Structure 1
Amino acid sequence: MASDETTPLLRSEATDSPSQPKATKAKTVATTVFGPANRILFAGFLMSFTLGITQVPIIYVFRLMECDIFWSHHGPFEGPGDRCHRREINAGTATQVSIVGMSTSFSGVFNLFICGYFIKLWGPRWAFVSQTALLGLRVSTQIIGVTIGGRTGEIIFQAFQAIGIIGGPRGYQLVLNTAVSELVAAKDRTAVFGRLQGSIMLGTAFGYLLGGVLGDVYNIRRPFETAFFLYIVSTVYGALFMPTGSGSEVSGQKQGGRGISAFFAPIKVIVPHRYRLESGKIIKNYGLVLLAIGIFLGVFASGYAPVLLQMYATSEFDFGTTENGYLMFGNSLIRGLFLLLMFPKIISSGRDWFNGTHVEESAKHTSESHIPISPQDFEVAEGDEVPQEPTQVPDPDEEDSGTGFDLFFVRWSLVIDSLVTFFAAFSSNGWQVYLAGFLLPFASGSAPAAKGVMTEMCAPHQRPDAISAITLVESTATLLTQGLFGLVFAAFSEIDRPSLTFFVNAGFAVLGFTVLFLARFPPENSKRIDEHESESVTEADTHPSSNAETIQESSEGEAEEGE
């Protein structure tokens, strides 16, 4: 094609698209579908699917082992009905399952520190491979426990959960969330956290369903054998297809991952931070601390809900592995679809509503700004001066200003969760348990929204540690809720009132959103004071006469940087 004075010097995608070859378009689509973010989402689906296969059978296995233990001490069973349908067996099962849950969660807390250290040393890909391989080793010990059975089988289950200290479910989720935070723009980070959580929930849903069916159709060992095979597949997938960051990012992670201070860096994130207001006043913001406490109470209240629904349905309505599989399948499926499809739209629309239309128009104008590439794109300057091309490209990772809605969403999610949990206590039929399991997912989304709030409150270089910190809070809450509420359910089962556990759960949810209502973002236009500036700030506060001079010098320095 002949060129003239109107032909752009730089060709854009828009000008090339009419003549773009079909092969190039297909390559672009393939790059999008199989891009780094989608590969991470599929890794989350595959791992949660593998983990979900064994979750329902574990509860049923412990009920069978407790049943064998009980009748070995009380003579052979005589009479009609299910020999395992006794209050003593239900209480013993709840106790043993809570011990397994405590062991798993306790290992998960340490796993976060170790896996976070692995991420800084090796990067997300090989940290992910380490977690999948060790989880495969753990499920192989569970196969041995199922085969032996009885008290010995229970001890094998509980003891070898300690493998999760080095490689466990919390570790692989931390790897995936860290990888997402490095690949996604700040304004889309919360939505993608939700999509990742939705992928994990979908995998869990299909894992619950398959695990229950395999346990009924074949034998109780088959779900664990299937999971072992899928862990091998996950390990190979992670080694071949997990995305890695750029060379500078990986080297930076390795450099920052050395030393004891890097090992305990997540703990240092959840502390009050100082901010300098526009007036020069120094304040201390407790938003991160209150956010962590609120999320802790929220997870503490809702973390036991899936296990509680299964235990309650098993003891009161004689649910087996198939019924519990359908229950957990529906619960996780709705939660996954909610997080994948509805959650991103809620966050986007909610931020627009929360901030007002003028913020939306300003952000849209900023995002749509582009570099002129043709003579017609340049505006005519006054005085017939020659227009100049822009010298600075807009930052594509510009921090989003709408995360105030994320905190709003976290608060009200716990309100809905407390109401659904409260009314679940009045279930008198099996279908009502299914209804509660289907309604609870609509209160989900607090965890990915909390991750978005946490990363927004922290400095950019602290994002991996911030994700580790919020995951650490969730794991600690899960550790305590598995132990405490397992014992509470066992105590209420002894007096034949297991439904009272739902009221205790709802009470902690109310306490959680009460604390979250006290959490606040730092004031607008305030500047965070880093740790290395703390000493100078303290000296300035100690010597009031020089305080004004310090603020003035700081303002002049900032002005020079702006110029």
Structure 2
Amino acid sequence: MAADETTPLIGDGAPKDAKATKAAKTIFGPANRILLAGFLMAFTLGVTQVPIIYVFRLMECDVFYSHNPPFEGSGDRCHRREINAGTATQVSILSMTTSFSGIINLFICGYFIKVWGPRWAFVSQTALLGVRVSTQVLGVTVGGRSGEIIFQACQCIGMIGGPRGYQLVLNTAVSEVVAAKDRTAVFGRLQGSIMLGTAFGFLLGGILGDIYGIRRPFEAAFFLYVASTIYGALFMPNKTADDAKDQKQGSRGISGFFAPLKVIVPHRYRLESGNVIKNYGLIFLALGLFLGVFATGYAPILLQMYATSKFNFGTTENGYLMFGISLIRGLFLLFMFPNIITVGRNWFNRAATSEDASTNTHEGRVPTNPEDFAAAEGGEVPQEPELVPDADEEDSGTGFDLFFVRWSLVIDSLVTFFAGFSSSGWQVYMAGFVLPFASGSAPAAKGVMTEMCPPKQRTDAISAITLVESMATLLTQGLFGLIFAAFSEAGQPRLTFFCNAAFAVVGFVVLFLARLPPTNSKRIDAEDSDTETETPSLLEQTASEEERE
């Protein structure tokens, strides 16, 4: 419509976050489309996760009998100590390759997001994952040592397109389409969608492998990747032209590639009084989350290994255990976590409002801003009052997010500690049922970090958090595997639970050192920090002018 003299100069008055919230809450709005994309991708990845271990066992079995006498007798011909050891070695190599590729993939995919935007970055990840699973179909068909080499070599495709990359794209995309106050809750819902997809993918992959043969899950995953790629190209939201331009300007050169590493550093903030302080909150937040993921990330695997060695759990029992953990965690993050964040933030906001009302007074306050000084008589035209944004339109409850990250680790450490006293199989299932209710620390940490960084660094902040999670997951798989083996040889595998809980407590203590920037403070970027610190405050300028007069 053409503008006329009745057209408001500031638009329709609807805040940007309010529009984003309204759009995100529609049935097939941008946020829900992203959640569905997360479910589809996790479901597709889960279809092949269970069969991969069995495939390596079959290929290692073929390798063994290629230079040994053929099997004679009844029973499973692959049930031999040499074959089990070879399978464990191949799976360990695959896990390390996947984890290392995932870390590299975070940097590459983060660069893709800045250059192409979330939509085409997502398409690149799904398409390359489809290429990788097609090579796995070839490896299953070939079998033997050649099949293992194909699996291991082509796993490096994950450096350019992999699971960590698509999760980074989805977290970045959802942070752009929802209001700031809803960001943490939607991070949790996205993680819940991924967990639900993983749970049902595990279930379908096992069924397809048992009924139609071990190659069928990989073939089904290939067509699911094709469908996910088409879905992403058609329905994934993309950034506006202005946002894309800003991202490209900040992503030039090698500095843009390694920008996530620059996020987790101390930053300077200018207080209302004019003083400049340095805040270390991002460092302690990242370190605390690292220790938390390091402790909690191994808990589901630990439950399986302990139940297998202590209570003779088989594939079926462990399958039910893992499906239950993933399902409960997904449902918790989808439905309970957003409500917890909303209620908790309202509680924090009310507490902060009442504290400010009881402590803040205007008497004796030193003016530091131009509008705080009284105007000379006849020297200034009265101005309209400044519009103060509505409290619920801002992400003013970030303090509760940090509170939630801390105490979720405490709950997780308690559950893990008491799981070490399990004396029967049903108690392991009970621990697996309660453990997911301590989830949500990673989505809450994403919410805190994205609010502590400027909007132009939001992608880098999410990349940094995901990088911390990936490195913690990689380390916990290796170190706690050795710890469990050592305690098992000593006849006390339950001690691993207590060691696990101790790391969670350390993470909780470190997180208490993380502090949010002071209220009403302004972050000083590195490029203009010298200018900011050298510029005298308005109060000093006024005092010097009075002295000269």
- Same topology, TM > 0.5: yes
Equivalent residue runs for 1:395-544 within 5 Å: 398-489=393-484, 499-536=494-531, 540=534
Deviations 1:244-268 (A, max 9, x none): 1222222322333322211111111
Alignment match, 1:300: 294
Equivalent residue for 2:49, pick from 51, 55, 69: 55
The answer to whether structure 1 residue 38 and structure 2 residue 32 are counterparts is yes
Deviations 1:94-129 (A, max 9, x none): 444333222111111111111111111111111000
Paired amino acid for 1:520:
R
Residue matched to 2:127: 133
2:354, 2:239 → 1: CA distance? 31
SS in 2 for 1:257: coil
TM-score normalised over the length of structure 1:
0.79
Q: What secondary structure is seen at the aligned counterpart in 2 of 1:220?
A: coil
Consecutive unaligned residues of structure 2, counting only runs of 5 or more, are 1-11, 13-21, 357-382, 543-549
Moved more, 514-523 or 187-196: 514-523
* Alignment match, 1:254: 248
Taking the aligned partners of 1:501 and 1:71, their CA distance within structure 2 comes to 37
Within 2, Cα distance between the matches of 1:344 and 1:460? Answer: 22
Secondary structure, aligned partner of 1:550: coil
3-state SS of paired residue (2:269): strand
- Residue deviations 1:514-556 (CA, integer Å, cap 9, x gap): 2112111112222221112222356x4xxxxxxxx71237998
Match of 2:379 in 1: none
Equivalent residue pairs, number: 497
Task: Provide the aligned C-alpha RMSD in A.
Answer: 3.3
Return the offset for 1:312: 4.4
Report 1:315-394 matches (<5 A): 319=313, 321-356=315-350, 359=353
Post-superposition shift, 1:455? 0.9
Query: What runs of 5+ residues in structure 1 fail to find an aligned partner?
Result: 1-11, 13-27, 363-387, 541-548, 557-563
% identical equivalent positions: 78
One-letter amino acid matched to 2:525: D
Q: Measure how far apart 1:62 and its partner are.
A: 3.5
Residue of structure 2 in register with 1:212 after alignment: 206
- Indicate how the Cα distance of structure 1 residues 199 and 555 shifts in structure 2: closer, same or farther if over 3 A, else same: farther
What's the counterpart of residue 385 of structure 1? none
Aligned-partner Cα distance in 1 for 2:411–2:520: 33
SS of the residue 1:338 aligns to: helix
Contact 2:247–2:456 under 8 Å retained in 1: no
Distance 1:345 1:471, change over 3 A: same
When residues 292 and 348 of structure 1 are mapped into structure 2, their CA distance, relative to the original with a 3 A threshold, is same
When residues 490 and 220 of structure 1 are mapped into structure 2, their CA distance, relative to the original with a 3 A threshold, is farther
Pairing partner for 1:288 from 258, 282, 291: 282
- Aligned partner of residue 356 in structure 1, secondary structure: helix
Change (3 A) 1:554 1:131: farther
Report the AA paired with residue 422 of structure 1.
F
Q: Which residue of 2 aligns with 1:369?
A: none
Name the residue aligned to 2:9.
Answer: none
AA aligned to 1:205 is A
The Cα shift of 1:436 comes to 2.6
Asked whether the equivalents of residues 412 and 513 of structure 1 are also in contact (C-alpha less than 8 Å), the reply is yes
| Aligned 8 A contact 1:91 1:490 in 2 | no
1:224 is aligned to 218
Residue identity opposite 1:122 in structure 2: W
- Select the residue among 149, 154, 158 that pairs with 2:152: 158
Mark the CA change 1:282 to 1:264 in structure 2 (over 3 Å): closer, same or farther: same
Structure 1 contact 63–84 (Cα < 8 Å) conserved = yes
Q: Distance in 2 between matches of 1:432 and 1:51?
A: 30
**1:77-108 deviations in whole A, cap 9, x for unaligned?**
67887666677765654444333222111111
Shift of 1:389: 10
CA contact (8 A) 2:24 2:30 kept: no
Report which stretch shifted further, 523-532 or 468-477.
Answer: 523-532
Contact 1:98–1:486, Cα closer than 8 Å, also in 2: no
Partner residue, 1:203: 197
Aligned AA for 2:208?
L
Using the size of structure 2 for normalisation, the TM-score is 0.81
